[in-house]
Amino acid sequence: MKEAAKLLQDLVYRSGYLKATIKEGIAALKPYAKQLEVIHIRIDYPDPSTWRKKEYWHISREEICSRLDERIFKHLVDENEYAAYLKRYRPAQVRGEIKDIDEHIMDTHYRPQAIKILRRKKFFNLARWTKKRICMEYHRRSNLYWKNGDEHRFDYRNSVESLFIRKKGDDKEVIGVGGSGSSGQREMCTFFTAVFYLLGKKTRIPHYLVKQNGFNELEYVGRKYRTVLTPGFGSNFDLDKHLYREILKKGFYWKTHFSKI
């Protein structure tokens, strides 16, 4: 726990290193090859005992749409038709005649139609169907913080989240966050994994392995001086097939071989 905390302190975000080609990425990072490192954080499922506890979750009350609007979005709204309404009423909104264009479209074209249909049903209660509703939102905490004190919010669609880092003085500049959770993260994962692999042929670049356990605690697992492959690699970036196969052959796929570290 202490070793993981030390490894993950003084993190700051720095953009601008994602390039259009691997060649450009090599050129941009080659002067800093000795200051590069990667921290791969495997995200375990939350322990069932943590559910609904503020110590482990950000909990908030969020207003959601009424039952009537939910039914409209599900059964009546057509995307092309709605786009036409937006185009039709946008000039009036610009002139200040309409305050909320979406509410105007719903009140003018959809809610009257939906209410007319629902009145045919027994026990229809307009007040109940139009009442705003509240739901509880739960967002898992991470216990990982940037240098400025803000919490780093993991994308929990990732099984492993990779922080590609350039050390600069006391700071660790996170120049890319990779994973499989989104197209942007997959692009980052592929680009930086390939660039770090090629730079690592001449300079040893450490890959640190950390896991967030079921209680949101960060635990140090180990270190590798070979490319660590994680879900997301190979997607959303035009990578040379020969290079892709070479990295797959020489890399270490952590998620599959976690127990062998």
| Residues 231, 160 contacting (CB under 8 angstroms) | yes
Residue 205 has pLDDT above 60, yes or no: yes
Q: Quick one: pLDDT at residue 19?
A: 94
Phi, psi of 75 (to 5 degrees): -115, -25
Residue 248 has pLDDT above 70, yes or no: yes
CA angle 248, 19, 192 (to 5 degrees): 30
Assessment of whether the complete model's pTM goes beyond 0.85: no
Q: Quick one: pLDDT at residue 256?
A: 43
pLDDT digit string, tens, across residues 21-68: 999 999 999 999 999 999 999 999 999 999 999 999 999 998 889 999
